[in-house]
């Protein structure tokens, strides 16, 4: 869908559509002359279909699904795009010591969070343990040239839900820049990439959501002109059994949903793919381990931690260098572009 919005209709072009089980949004300020918005939207949708065709676990014919079904342990030729994403995933896995692990697929499926039918009950502990034994990023090997991947054990199952949306955002950004587009905000399911100026002529204003279930409100506004942003949280994706709340965020190291007090973490990085994976890793690690890792690696991150009275913000040193406003700042609070 194509629309012109804002106080200066000639400046803002807004393209939207569905992808990856969610939606995409592309806002462009001062679209260069000669570029047809509908044609550009078609190319974006086509690009995202290609990404899904490589990395979706919901499409049986995707490159990743074919790899997951195979029990071969020799090298299997794949696309350079899949290798690129898996290489980044493995870097974050090593950095987080397995808190982020794309071989988490058996656990995702067991808990009913993947393409398998929804499970309306807690899986037995022995099944969780059996699935966890199939999770180990070190059992997945990657070769760049010629591009190929292999399993050290045949039942490895890769799930890229913690990084693929970010990669899709980056691919759209590359497409825009190749067209000479310099001012944009790309979003897929909350993973974003920002470049240039926003519709008011200044930095883009990005809203960080307050983690309150069943209600949408803003915790903080960021002003950005060149960055990628990703947020991971469990305040919307959870279920309850016998009075206990279970997050959809699984810890690959234990096989069980996370239980700590971190409710969301927002990460800024150079690419949306990296921000996406880092946000997932820090969410699994929690407010103490995750914060220590983020500080050590100089990651710009905002942690929202649950307290008896509400939420507490915890920001890394790198994050404090970013211009932002908390909702409690009072009058003069700037509106968000997203």
Q: pLDDT tens, 139-169?
A: 999 999 999 999 999 999 999 999 999 999 9
Mean pLDDT lowest for which of 80-89, 109-118, 126-135, 142-151? Answer: 109-118
Task: Give the tens place of pLDDT for each residue, 6-53.
Answer: 455 579 999 999 999 999 999 999 999 999 999 999 999 999 999 999
CB 165 within 8 A of CB 171: no
Which of 23-32, 106-115, 312-321 shows the lowest mean pLDDT across its residues?
Answer: 106-115
Q: Which residues are annotated as a binding site for Mg(2+)?
A: 162, 276, 280
Judged against a pLDDT cut of 90, whether residue 66 lies above it is answered with: yes
Cα–Cα distance, 238 to 174 (Å, whole number)? 34
Mean pLDDT over 52-61 rounds to 98
| pLDDT at residue 6 in the model | 47
* pLDDT higher than 60, residue 122: yes
d(CA 280, CA 262): 12
Q: What is the mean pLDDT of residues 256-272?
A: 96
pTM over 0.85: yes
Please report the pLDDT score of residue 114 as a whole number: 87
Q: Which domains does the chain have, with CATH numbers?
A: 1-57+161-192 (3.10.520.10), 70-151 (1.10.3980.10), 203-338 (3.10.520.10)
Closest CA to 220 of 209, 204, 231: 209
Structural contact between residues 273 and 279, judged by C-beta atoms closer than 8 angstroms:
no
Q: What is the mean pLDDT of the chain?
A: 92
Kindly report the three-state secondary structure assignment for every residue of the chain. Answer: CEEECCCCCCCEEEEEEEECCEEEEEEEECCCCCCCHHHHHHHHHHHHHHHHHHHCCCCCCCHHHHHHHCCCCCCEECCHHHHHHHHHHHHHHHHCCCCCCHHHHHHHHHCCCCCCCCCCCCCCHHHHHHHHCCCCHHHEEEECCCCEEEECCCCCCCCCCCCHHHHHHHHHHHHHHHCCCCCEEEEECCEEEEECCCCCCCCEEEEEECCCCCCCCEEEEEEECEEEEEEEECCCCEEEECCEEEECCECCCCCCECCCCEEEEEEEECCHHHHHHHHHHHHHHHHHHHHHHHHHCCCEEEEEEEECCEEEEEECCCHHHCCEEEHHHCCCCCCCCC
Could you give the angle at the alpha carbon of 21 between the alpha carbons of 16 and 25, nearest 5°? 20
Do the Cβ atoms of 76 and 149 come closer than 8 Å? yes
Alpha carbon distance 105, 41 (integer Å): 32
Q: How confident is the model at residue 245 (pLDDT cuts 50, 70, 90)?
A: confident
Q: How far does CA 256 lie from the centroid of its chain?
A: 20
| Mean pLDDT value of segment 223-236 | 91
User: What proportion of the chain, given as a percentage, has pLDDT over 90?
Assistant: 81
Angstrom distances, CA of residue 298 to CA of 101, 291, 293: 21, 10, 8
- Residue 69 confidence (pLDDT): 98
Q: Write down the residue that tokens 């993947």 correspond to.
A: 114
Is the Cβ–Cβ distance between 216 and 224 less than 8 Å?
no
- The pLDDT assigned to 329 comes to 41
Supply 149's token pair. 């991947």
Is the confidence at residue 236, as pLDDT, over 90?
no
| Across 43-52, 65-74, 208-217, least confident range | 208-217
Most trustworthy range by pLDDT among 28-42, 226-240, 321-335:
28-42
Q: Which is higher by pLDDT, 164 or 237?
A: 164
Q: Confidence class of residue 58 from pLDDT cuts 50, 70 and 90?
A: very high
Give the per-residue pLDDT at 330: 39
Q: Summarize the annotated binding site as residue ranges.
A: 162, 276, 280
Residue 336, pLDDT > 50, answer: yes
């Amino acid at each position: 869908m194509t629309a012109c919005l804002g106080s200066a209709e000639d400046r803002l072009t807004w393209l939207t559509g569905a992808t990856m089980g969610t939606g995409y949004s592309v806002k462009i300020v001062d679209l260069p002359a000669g570029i047809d918005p509908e044609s550009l939207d078609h190319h974006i949708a086509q690009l995202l279909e290609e990404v899904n065709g490589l990395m979706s676990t919901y499409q049986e014919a995707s490159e990743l699904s074919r790899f997951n079904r195979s029990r071969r342990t020799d090298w299997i030729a794949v696309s350079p795009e899949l290798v690129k994403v898996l290489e980044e995933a493995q870097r974050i896995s090593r950095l987080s010591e397995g808190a982020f692990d794309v071989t988490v697929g058996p656990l995702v499926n067991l808990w009913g969070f993947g393409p398998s039918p929804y499970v309306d009950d807690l899986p037995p502990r022995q099944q969780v343990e059996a699935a966890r034994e199939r999770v180990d990023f070190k059992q997945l090997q990657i070769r760049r040239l010629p591009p190929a991947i292999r399993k050290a054990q045949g039942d490895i199952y890769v799930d890229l839900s913690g990084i693929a949306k970010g990669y899709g955002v980056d691919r759209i950004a590359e497409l825009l820049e190749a067209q000479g587009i310099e001012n944009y905000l790309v979003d897929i399911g909350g993973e974003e990439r920002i470049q240039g100026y926003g519709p008011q002529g200044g930095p883009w204003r990005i809203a960080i959501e307050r983690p309150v279930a069943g209600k949408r409100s803003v915790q903080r506004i960021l002003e950005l002109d060149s960055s990628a942003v990703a947020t991971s949280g469990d305040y919307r994706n959870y279920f309850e059994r016998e009075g206990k709340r279970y997050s959809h965020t699984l810890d690959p190291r234990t096989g069980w949903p996370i239980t700590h007090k971190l409710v969301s973490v927002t990460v800024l990085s150079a690419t949306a793919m990296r921000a996406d994976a880092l946000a997932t890793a820090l969410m699994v690690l929690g407010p103490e381990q995750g914060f220590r890792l983020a500080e050590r690696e100089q990651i710009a991150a905002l942690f929202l931690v649950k307290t008896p009275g509400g939420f507490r913000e915890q920001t890394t040193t790198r994050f404090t260098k970013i211009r932002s406003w908390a909702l409690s700042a009072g009058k003069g609070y700037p509106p968000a572009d997203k």
